[in-house]
Amino acid sequence: MSEAVPVVRLAARGDGVTADGRFVLGAAIGDAALFDGDTVTILAGPGHATPPCRHFPECGGCQLQHITDDGYARFVADRIVGALGHVGIVPGWVAPVALSPPKSRRRASLRAVKRGNKLALGFNAEASHQIIDMHQCEVLTPALFALVAPLRELLRTALADGQGAGVTLTESDTGIDALLANVAAERLVDIERLTDFAAVHDLARLSIEGAHGVETVMEARQPLLAMGGVPVALPPAPFLQATREGEAALVAAVAEAVGGTRRIADLFCGLGTFALPLSQAAQVFAVDAAGPAVQALTAAARAHGRRVKTVHRDLFRRPLTAAELEACDAVVFDPPRAGAQSQAAMLAASRVDTVVAVSCNPNTFARDAETLVKGGYRLERLWPVAQFRWSTHVELVAQFRR
Angstrom distance (rounded) from CA 241 to CA 181: 22
Cα end-to-end span (Å), the chain:
58
Whether residue 337 contacts residue 244, with contact meaning beta carbons closer than 8 Å, is answered with no
C-alpha to C-alpha distances, 334 to 97, 268, 294, 311, 401, nearest whole angstrom: 19, 5, 14, 15, 17
Angstrom distance (rounded) from CA 401 to CA 93: 13
Whether residue 331 contacts residue 355, with contact meaning beta carbons closer than 8 Å, is answered with yes
Which residues 6+ apart lie within 8 Å of 290 measured at CB?
239, 270
Give Cα 92 to chain centroid, integer Å. 26
Cβ–Cβ contacts within 10 Å for residue 317, how many? Answer: 8
Rg (CA), the chain: 23
Angstrom distance (rounded) from CA 154 to CA 178: 13
Of 29, 179, 26, 350, nearest to 18 by C-alpha is: 29
Residues forming beta bridges with residue 263, ordered by sequence position: 283
SS percent in the chain: helix, strand, coil, step 5: 25, 30, 45
Phi, psi of 182 (to 5 degrees): 65, 35
One of 53, 62, 269, 360 is an active-site residue; which one?
360
Give the torsion through C-alpha atoms of 20, 73, 239, 175, to 10 deg: 130
Whether residue 201 contacts residue 134, with contact meaning beta carbons closer than 8 Å, is answered with no
Q: How many residues does the chain have?
A: 402
Residues forming beta bridges with residue 42, ordered by sequence position: 33
Is residue 360 annotated as part of the catalytic site, yes or no?
A: yes
DSSP labels, 173-187: TTEEEEEEES----S
> H or E element: which one contains 62?
none
Catalytic residues: 360
